[in-house]
Amino acid sequence: MVFYHGGGFVIGDLETHHNLCTELAAQMDLPLIAVDYRRAPEHPFPAAIDDCEAATRWIAGSPSELGRGVTGVIPIGDSAGGNASIVIAQQFAASPAATPVVMQVPIFPLASNAAGSASLTEFAEGFILTKASVEYFEEQYKPDHCDPRAMPILGDHSKTPPTVLVTAGLDPIRDSGRDYGAALSNAGISHVHLEMRGVTHSFTNLRQAIPSNQRDLERVIAAMKFTLEASA
């Protein structure tokens, strides 16, 4: 698993997501490498995506350096990292590596432009991620809305690997994730879409504060195991 942390490509780091990464590695019983990519505003789009792709390609092609047999990679991440997981899978599909992407796991990702969406209006304040924060992250990151590396909904979905897509019911960017799920359905891609009802953005990092979020994460992990077994 190759993990890309959330934070709008502006905040967050390896430490903010260390607990989540160790939980994923332990419950999946798979190695996980987290990517420490450059962040905005010092490094706007597409610096973070370039770093994520470079790191993932190195991981896919460096089994001897890692001291492990690498049979496949799984891009996984939350929020901005969910965006990155989709983009990296698309980049690998367009230019394959020796080691394939066997599954992708975008967790409450920004896949399409959230501006004007019903969820951004409905959950603008009071649900962890706010509309103001979404707009601030965009202002700092400066994504090109016409570039699939920023808005992967615009990319080619025909070669998408088996997918576990996770959205949160009380998330201002929920509808962006739903858009991506619809695109996968329209492309005939095998996927599991879990929408966690009654939870907010970043629920995977709130498990100590809200114990039921641990069960939600375990549902995601169960879906990942199911998807890997079904696609083997």
Active site residues: 79, 171, 201
Beta-bridged to residue 4, according to DSSP, are: 35, 77
Q: Tell how far CA 69 is from the center of its chain.
A: 24
Q: Which residue in the block uniquely carries the two structure tokens 């700092």?
A: 140
Round to whole Å and give the CA distance between 52 and 142: 17
Q: How far apart are CA 186 and CA 183, in angstroms?
A: 5
Judge whether 165 and 194 are in contact, CB under 8 Å. Answer: yes
First to last CA, the chain: 16
